[in-house]
Amino acid sequence: MMTDGTGGDAGRIGICKHFMIGDNTQLVMENLNSLIPYLIPIVLLELALVVFALVDLRRRPNTKGPKWAWALVILFVNLIGPILYLLFGREE
């Protein structure tokens, strides 16, 4: 480790200053605000897919595998879970 000669850790202090959250809050918020128009459609698409897949799962008498497992996949595998169910989980 590098020290500053007084027993302190100069390298660690520099890293801590670089990653301080309070210093860059305004910059982070500006970047986040510029991304919101792109994130809203993705979130809405994900929500619509989850609702559609869960309704479809509930209405189907048979699926490829247990329904509880498909429900977990749909709910906890973001964006891909409902797509996986719709492609591979439904029996036709």
Q: pLDDT band for position 21 (50/70/90)? A: low
Instruction: Flag whether 19 is in a domain.
Output: yes
Q: Which residues of 8-33 are buried (b: 16+ CB within 10 A; e: fewer)?
A: eeeeeeeeeeeeeeeeeeeeeeeeee
Which range of residues forms the domain containing residue 34?
Answer: 10-89
Q: Is residue 3 part of a domain?
A: no
Rounded mean pLDDT, 17-25: 59
Q: What is the pLDDT of residues 39-75, one digit of tens each?
A: 899 999 999 999 999 999 999 998 899 999 999 999 9
Residue 31 maps to a domain = yes
On whether the pTM is more than 0.75, the answer is no
